[in-house]
Chain A
Amino acid sequence: MSARLDVRKTYKLFIGGAFPRSESGRTYEVVADGGSFAANAALASRKDARDAVRAARRAQPGWAGATAYNRGQVLYRVAELLESRRSQFVEEVTAGEGLKSKAAEAAVDAAIDRWVWYAGWTDKVAQVAGSANPVAGPYFNLSVPEPTGVVVVLAPQSSSLLGLASLLAPVLVTGNAAVVVASEKRPLPAITLSEVLATSDVPSGVVNILTGRTAELAPPLATHQDVNAIDLTGAIGADGVEWGALEAEAAGSVKRVVRPPLGDAEPDWAQLPDGPRRILAFTETKTVWHPKGA
C-alpha cells in the first residue's frame, strides 16, 4: 500500500473576512526551518494592502461600538478556538521556527494564555486609564481612552505565533481594527490564526492579514493616510527594512508609531506584559467637559 498523499493547503490572504489571493497573482515559497518546502504563500501587493486598510476602516466603527463586555467575549472565544487548534499551531511553530516540541508547545500555550489575558482587559482599560478629573470649577470632566482606529502591525519576524499574538491582541482590545503584515519567512501560524478568526465572532475586516515581503508592504502602509498607527516591531530582522525610515514616512500624517523594542531585537516574548501599555499605545484619550448647574 503506498503512502497517502496529503491535500495541501493554498495559503491565501485574509481581508475583509474573506480569503482572496493576492490581486497580483503572485506567491512566494515558504521554507521550513530545515530548508524544506512548506507552502506557497500569497505574495501581497500594495493594492492588497490598500484593500486591507479599506476593509479595516469599514469594520472598525462597529467593533469599537460593541460593548467592552462583548469584545471581551469575542476575544475569549478566539482563545477557545486557538486552544482547539493547539496541535496544528504546535506543528507550524515547530516547523517554521525549528523549535524542539517542548519549546513549541510552551510558545503556543503562552500565546493562548496571552490572548486570554488581553481578552480580560476590554472592560477594564477605561477604569485604569480613564479618570474623572477634579477640575477647579463646576464641571463634570471625564477622560476616557478610545481606540485610535486602524492599526498596522508589522508582526515579529521570528516569533511567529507568540510574538504575533502579543502584538495583535492588545490592538483589538479597545476596538481598533488591524492590518497585520505577517512574518515574511514564517507566515503560516498567522494564516492559521486568520482561519481561527474567520470562524470566530470577530467581525469581518477587524483583522486583516497580509503575507509577503515586509519591505514591499510596510512603506505603502506607513504612508497610507487612512492608517492611524503603526507597530514597527516586525521591521527588526526583515530584509531591506529600516524602521527609522518607516517612522519618518509615518510622520507625514502624524501617525502614532510604536517603535521596535530597545536593542533592535525581539524581546523574550514569554515574559509577561507589565501592564496595559501595548493596549494604551493604540488609544486616544478624550476629555469631555460639561457644566454642572440646575
Chain B
Amino acid sequence: MSNFEYAPAPESRAVVDIASSYGLFIDGKFTEPADGATFKTVNPATEEVLADIAEAGEKDVDRAVAAARRAQEKVWGPMPGAERAKYLYRIARLLAERAREFAVLETLDNGKPIRESRDVDVPTAAAHFFYYAGWADKLDHAGFGANPRPHGVAAQVIPWNFPLLMLAWKIAPALATGNTVVLKPADTTPLTALLFADLLRQAELPPGVVNILTGGRETGSLLVNHPGIDKIAFTGSTPVGKRIAQEVAGSRKALTLELGGKAANIVFDDAPLDQAVEGIVNGIFFNQGQVCCAGSRLLVQESIAEDLVDRLKRRLGTLRVGDPLDKNTDVGAINSAQQLERITTLSQSGEDEGATRWTAPCELPERGYWFAPTVFTDVSPSHRIAREEIFGPVLSVLTFRTPAEAVSKANNTPYGLSAGIWTEKGSRILWLADQLRAGVVWANTFNRFDPASPFGGYKESGYGREGGRHGLASYLQEGSAP
C-alpha cells in the first residue's frame, strides 16, 4: 500500500438533470410511444435505475420516417448549404458549452470513467459537428462531382460503447450533406441522445431533421427495414451487420457498416518500450476494452516478449478500477450484465484452451458490472481469445519472430479495422503500414481519433468511412454515368 493514497475525487452529478422518464423525439417534440411500451436504463456501476425509456414501435417508426421525409423535402434539402452549416456550428458550440453535463450523463449511463467522457468523448463529438459544419456549403469541391445530391432520409443505428460520439459521427455528416435522420441509440445508453434532443431545441433545428427513437433490437429492425428509408448507417457487431446487409439486399438502400475488430498491436524489439507499454494499455483498457478498434491482440517480438510483459504487468498494477465518476478512475464498469457474461465466458475459454491468465490486482465494487483487467499469455492463433472479439478488458499476447511473420499473424483474421505498430525504424513503419489489412493503422500511438481522419474497416469489419472528406461519400448519391 502506497503512502500516497488518492482520496475520492468525484465529479458532481448535480450538473445534469435526469428526468424520471423520456418519450420519443419525433418531429421536434417529445411524445409518448404509440403503444406505451417502456424499458429501463441503469447505471452499470451501481445497477441503479436512471430512467424509464420509451420503446418505439411500428407506428412510431412510421411517424418518425414521415417527419424526416417531410423535413428533408421541404426544409433541409432545399436549404442552402451555408445555412445548414450554421445550424451545425450552433450544435457544436452548444455541445462545448454543455460539455460537463453531457460528460457526467455519459459516465452515468455507460459506466466509462469521467476522465474519458470529459477528455475524449464529448470534445471529439463537438469537434465532429464543427468539422462537418464546414463541409455543408463546399460539397461541390469535395470530389464527388458538381452538386452532389443527398440520399434523403437516413436511418442510423448506433452502439453503446461511445453513445454520444457515435451519434456525432452519424448525424454530423448526414446533416451536412442535406440528409435528415432517424437515429436509434443503443438500449443500454439512450440518455445522452435524449439530452442531445434538448440541445437541438436550443439550436432551433427545424423539426423532423433529427428524430431520435429509443428502443431495442426490434425497433432497430423496424427502422432499417422501413421502405421510407434511403440510407442506413450501422455501427455494431459483425453478426448484426451481416443480417442488416442481407435484409437490405435488393432494396437499393445505401448502406455502410462499421463492425467488429480484433486488432493486432505489434511491438518490435526496437520499440520505444515505455511508450509501447502505454500504447498497449490504452489500446485494450481504454473504455474497458469495449472498443471496435481495441488493440486486443498484442503481437510482440519474441526476443523482448518476457521483458515487455513484465513491464506491462507492472504498469497494470497502477490502473485504478472503480467509481466511474471519480476523476482518478482509469477503468470503469462494463456496460451491461450481458456484456459482462460474454467477457467472462470468453475469458474462461482462454483458460480452458491452455493460455495463461493473469489478472491485475484491484478491488472490484460490490454492485455493478465489473471485470478486472486481464492478460493472457501463451496464446496461439487458434485460441478463441485470439480470434473472437471479446469487447472487454482482456488482452491476448502472441509472439512473432520476423516482420513477415508479424504481418501474417496480424492479417490472419476475418476482421480488418485497425492495427498498431511500435518500432523506432521509420522505413519499417511504412512497410508494415502498407502490408497491414486494416482501415486505421496507428504507428507508435494508438486510439487516436479526429473528425478529419477517416475511420472504417477492411473485410468483415465493415465498409464505408466516417470522418474526413471520405466520410461524406456515403451520404451522397452516386452519379449515373457508367
Do A and B contact each other directly (Cβ–Cβ < 8 Å)?
yes
CA–CA, A244 and B442, complex, Å: 37
Tell whether, in the assembled complex, residue B470 and residue A285 are in contact, meaning their CB atoms are under 8 Å apart.
yes
Size category of the binding interface on chain A: 35 or more
B414 / chain A contacts, CB cutoff of 8 Å: 253
Question: Chain A binding site: helix, strand, loop or mixed by DSSP?
Answer: mixed
B453-A135 in contact (CB<8A): yes
Given contacts A251-B242, A254-B241, contact A274 B468 (CB under 8 A): no
The answer to whether A242 and B250 touch across the interface, beta carbons within 8 angstroms, is yes
User: Are B468 and A290 interface neighbours, CB within 8 A?
Assistant: no
Q: Does A128 contact B (CB under 8 A)?
A: yes
> Whose C-beta in chain A lies nearest to the C-beta of B461?
A254
How far is B457's CA from A256's CA once the two chains are assembled, in angstroms?
Answer: 11
CA distance A103 to B242 in the complex (A): 44
Give which listed residue, B252, B463, B479, contacts A254 with CB less than 8 A: B463
Q: What 1/0 flags go to A236-260 for Cβ under 8 Å of B? A: 0000001111111011111011010
B433-A271 in contact (CB<8A): no
Q: Does B216 interact with chain A (Cβ within 8 Å)?
A: no
User: How far in angstroms is the closest Cβ of chain A from B447?
Assistant: 10
Number of A-B contacts (CB under 8 A): 141
Per the bound structure, the CA–CA distance linking A120 and B338 in Å amounts to 53
B145: Cβ under 8 A from any A Cβ = yes
Contact (A133, B442) CB under 8 Å given A247-B249, A248-B249, A254-B259: no
Q: Which of B243, B454, B462 contacts A287 (CB 8 A)?
A: B454
Q: Does A19 contact B (CB under 8 A)?
A: no
Q: Could you tell me if B445 and A284 are in contact, using CB atoms closer than 8 angstroms?
A: no
Interface residue? A69 (CB, 8 A)? no
> Complex Cα distance A267/B442, Å?
42
A133 touches B468 (CB 8 A): yes
Contact indicator B482/A289 (Cβ below 8 Å): no
As a 0/1 sequence over residues 245 to 257 of chain B, the CB contacts with chain A under 8 angstroms (1 = contact) are 1101111100001
CA gap between A103 and B112 in the complex, in Å: 66
What's the nearest-Cβ distance from chain A to residue B128, in Å?
A: 12
Contact at A284–B439, with CB atoms within 8 Å? yes
Question: Whole-angstrom distance from the CB of B277 to the nearest CB of chain A?
Answer: 16
Which A146-197 residues have a C-beta within 8 angstroms of B? 148, 163, 166
CB <8 Å contact, A289 and B242: no
Q: Is B164 an interface residue (CB 8 A)?
A: no
Give the nearest-CB partner of A61 in chain B.
B435
Contact in complex: B246, A252 (CB < 8 Å): yes
Pairwise interchain contact B145-A275, C-beta atoms closer than 8 A: yes
B480 contacts chain A at the CB level, 8 A cutoff:
yes
Name, among B243, B445, B450, B453, the residue most crowded by chain A CB atoms within 10 Å (CB to CB): B453
A290 to B440, CA, bound (A): 11
Docked CA distance A159–B411 (Å): 39
Given contacts A133-B450, A275-B145, contact A290 B443 (CB under 8 A): yes
Given A256-B463, A272-B481, A275-B479: A143 in contact with B468 (beta carbons within 8 A): yes
0/1 interface trace, chain B 455-468, chain A, CB 8 Å (1 if under): 11011111101001
B429: contacting residue among A129, A251, A290, CB under 8 A: A290
Question: Is B242 a contact partner of A254 (Cβ separation < 8 A)?
Answer: yes
> Are the C-beta atoms of A254 and B443 separated by less than 8 Å?
no
* Residues of A with C-beta under 8 A to B242: 251-252, 254
Contact in complex: A251, B249 (CB < 8 Å)? yes
Q: Given A128-B143, A136-B452, A254-B241, 5 other A-B contacts at CB below 8 A?
A: A166-B482, A245-B249, A261-B482, A288-B433, A289-B453
Which residues of A line the B interface, CB within 8 A? 128-129, 131, 133-137, 139, 141, 143, 148, 163, 166, 228, 242-248, 250-254, 256-257, 259, 261-262, 267-269, 271-275, 277-278, 284-291
Pairs of residues from A and B, 9 with the lowest C-beta to C-beta distance, nearest first? A244-B250, A251-B245, A248-B249, A247-B249, A135-B450, A274-B481, A290-B443, A133-B452, A251-B246
